[in-house]
Amino acid sequence: MGHGKFTTVINCMDGRTQLPVIEWLKLKHGADCVDSITEPGPVRILAEARDTAALESIRRRLSISVTKHGSKRVAIVAHADCAGNPADKQAQLDQLRAAAATVLSWGMDVQVDLLWLGDDWQVEQVV
């Protein structure tokens, strides 16, 4: 495709989470370009799976990244002090795992990585 290696992130819209995650994905996964899908507190949207319009919007954008840019991985991000999802860390880690199940249920050929950013804005991979 001549645009380098794409990867995808479903991130919070929070401006504090963008650059740390993009830099981490470039370093850890050798991504040249990171397609960003942002929502306020996306892990809550994906975990609860109640807002069908928001879910469909995320699914559609991920599909474009996968089919048009050839992305093979999607990272899902949760973080401390989230205005869109004011849940504690443990609850958000549970939401991250449920969010992964939602994304995997869409049947796209992508590997899912789960990332947490604490108060120090360092990226931690959640297993």
Q: How far is CA 108 from CA 60, 70, 81, 92, in A?
A: 11, 11, 31, 24
Tell me whether residue 66 or residue 78 sits nearer to Zn ion (CB atom).
78
Which residues ranging from 46 to 105 are in contact with Zn ion (CB under 5 A)?
Answer: 82, 84
Out of 9, 10, 12, 110, name the contact with Zn ion by CB under 5 A: 12
14 belongs to the binding site for Zn ion (CB under 5 A):
yes
Q: What are the φ and ψ backbone dihedral angles of 6, each rounded to 5 degrees?
A: -95, 145
Number of neighbouring beta carbons within 10 Å of residue 53: 8
Tokens of 71: 């992305």
Least gap, CB of 112 to Zn ion (angstroms):
19
Least gap, CB of 72 to Zn ion (angstroms):
26
Q: What are the φ and ψ backbone dihedral angles of 100, each rounded to 5 degrees?
A: -60, -40
Choices 4-12, 27-35, 56-64, 109-117 (CB under 5 A): range interacting with Zn ion = 4-12
- Residues contributing to the site for Zn ion (CB under 5 A): 12, 14, 82, 84
